[in-house]
Amino acid sequence: MATTIASINLTSTDLLSDSLSVSAVSTLTGAGNSTGLTLTGGLGRKRLATGHAQYTLFDGDAYANGAHKIYLKNTSSTASEHFTIEINSEQMGKLYAGDWAFFPWEANADTNDIKIDPSADDMVLEYMIFIDE
């Protein structure tokens, strides 16, 4: 069993009339248990060079139904460049330059692919999966 910790801090001193500070810490475990996730795909980067067409980043068919965790980051520094993120053809959101996302992924169907669609050529997405066997 491994121990992997994910933590998040959301802060602002001027969005509201009082300071905002939200923090949470989560230990990544298997579905419905307290056993730490033991597998990862490692930290990777994907450059989509030309055509900027939709690309399957994680294939639902390749993973068991489980409590996987996904990290994505758009490494671009050009504000208008974004990746559109889809799960099973449903658009989740657009990851603009510098944005990151972290979310659970069930892979509960072969069609539950996570696909990315860059808005321009040569954009680079950083990604990582923590796998629930």
Partner 1 sequence: MATTATLTLASADIAGDPVSVSKTATLTKAGTINDLDQSIGLNRVHLRSTTNKVLLSANAEGNNLAAKVYIINKAVDTSLYLTVTINAQTIGKLYGGDFLFIPWSQTDTDANIEVAATNWTSSTGDIPVEYALFHEDTDFLTNA
Q: How far is CA 95 from CA 6, 43, 67, 84, 116, in A?
A: 20, 18, 22, 6, 10
- For residue 35, the minimal CB distance to partner 1 (Å) is 9
Six token digits for residue 90: 């449903």
Burial class (CB in 10 A: 0-12, 13-18, 19+), 119: middle
Size of the site for partner 1 (CB under 8 A): 64
CA within 13 Å, CB half, 19: 5
Nearest distance, CB of residue 53 and partner 1, angstroms: 18
Looking at residues 8 to 37 of the shown chain, list those that interact with partner 1 (rule: CB under 8 A).
8-16, 20, 22, 24, 26-27, 29, 31-34, 36-37
Residues 6 or more apart in contact with residue 47 via CB below 8 angstroms = 122, 123, 124
Site string for partner 1, 60-89 (x = CB under 8 A): -------xx--x-x-----xx-x-xx-xxx
Least distance CB 96 / partner 1 (angstroms): 6
Residues near partner 1, by CB under 8 A: 2-16, 20, 22, 24, 26-27, 29, 31-34, 36-40, 42-43, 67-68, 71, 73, 79-80, 82, 84-85, 87-96, 98-106, 108, 112, 128, 130
